[in-house]
Amino acid sequence: MKIINELQLAKELIRFPTVTPIDAGIMKFLEKKLKKLGFKTKILEFKEKGNAPVKNLYARLGNKSPNFCYAGHLDVVPAGNLRDWTVNPFKPSIKNGHLIGRGANDMKSSIAAFVSAISVFIEKNKGFNGSISLLITGDEEGVAINGTKKVVDYLKKKREKIDFCLVGEPTNPNKLGEMIKIGRRGSMNGRLTITGVQGHVAYPHRANNPSTALVRILKELKDLRFDKGTKDFQPTNLEITKININNTADNVIPGLAYASFNIRFNNMHTSNSIKKKINKILKKVCNKTKSKYKIDYSVSGEAFLTKPNSTTFMIQNIIKKVTKIKPRLSTTGGTSDARFIRKIAPCLEFGLVGKTMHKVDEAVSLTDLKKLSLIYSKVLKNYFK
């Protein structure tokens, strides 16, 4: 069996213009590679009204326990203005010891590193006691409706057991080895509409300005102190993201006012407990100002924490040996598909340095790519000891 080179595979994956949720043939391409390694594969396409269909891939090598799963995504964000790039974002180039292309960092190179690591591991450990699986989506950078969330539901129905999952998101702020993610904060958006009574500015007694209630509500929301944080999580935080009154005249009191906010919350709360707190404020202020409110919430994910266990510490030690840095166990940053996978398996995240993700000339250091593949290979070796 031929060992798969991580750099070569990363280049091949970057050539597919998989701007979310476009597949561009990449799942079939990866499926072929995995079949050659002996994997049993299934491309799972999910559809939902109002959203584009998405192709995902679940592949498994072996049928024994334990099942070590690697998860990631092959969709990428748009390249933006192509003139700003020094290379064609979908024609990977090497410059100054870095591979440049859209997805080089987030996260096609990480997937390439893991596939390469598997090829190295099974060459030396043909009869290993367990299974290796991959859960790959094409819907992480988008709405995440027809991606990992639905694959997890499918695996639940099939009673497919995953014993541990490593998500290959770029977790390191500046140097490879700095950070492992062992959890994530929850994320929830609120879209608020306040209804008043439209009228002439010279006759305020005949109107009811919705901005009065809106300003008071937003002040109270910003003054909320949800908690002081925990040993594992930073404090819960609310940020107002939009304030809008569609009023084209200066002598008209508007009838409607809008605002949006996002809350990143730790595991001292659930989305429901936060909704109750916010709804209390809305009700109180709108009663006082004789206004009406409507609030629409959307929850991207609940807060979660994978309590460090022997596998966590084993991975931490391997990273330290390879990079000479002891990675910090962290819950910082945005959301990832780990929020879905953690429902069926303990998981952590470790991948490349995230400095250039989503940027023009997105790049990965060739040295880091080689080291990441080595880390992933050693993780498999130690996990199946």
Show the 3-state SS of the chain. Answer: CCCCCHHHHHHHHHCCCCECCCCCCHHHHHHHHHHHCCCEEEEEEEEECCEEEEEEEEEEECCCCCEEEEEEECCECCCCCHHHCCCCCCCCEEECCEEECCCCCCCHHHHHHHHHHHHHHHHHCCCCCCEEEEEEECCCCCCCCCCHHHHHHHHHHCCCCCCEEEECCCCECCCCCCEEECEECEEEEEEEEEECECEECCCHHHCECHHHHHHHHHHHHHHCCCCCCCCCCCCCEEEEEEEECCCCCCCEECCEEEEEEEEEECCCCCHHHHHHHHHHHHHHHHHHHCCEEEEEEEEEECCEECCCCHHHHHHHHHHHHHHCCCCEEECCCCCCCHHHHCCCCCEEECCCECCCCCCCCCEEEHHHHHHHHHHHHHHHHHHCC
Active site residue 106: no
* Annotated catalytic residue, options 31, 106, 139, 140: 140
The pairing of strands 186-195 and 363-365 is unpaired
**In terms of C-beta distances under 8 Å and separation of at least 24 residues, what long-range contacts does 275-280 make, across chains too?**
275/188, 277/224, 277/226, 278/190, 278/221
Contacts for 370 with CB less than 8 Å, ≥ 6 apart: 6, 7
State the amino acid at position 191 in one-letter form.
R
**Dihedral angle sign, alpha carbons of residues 182, 231, 237, 298:** positive
The answer to whether 152 touches 40, Cβ cutoff 8 Å, is: no
Angle between helices 210-223 and 271-289 (to 10 degrees): 140
* Annotated catalytic residue, options 6, 75, 337, 362: 75
Active site residue 140: yes
State the CB neighbour count (10 A cutoff) for residue 40. 14
Could you give the residue numbers annotated as active site? 75, 140
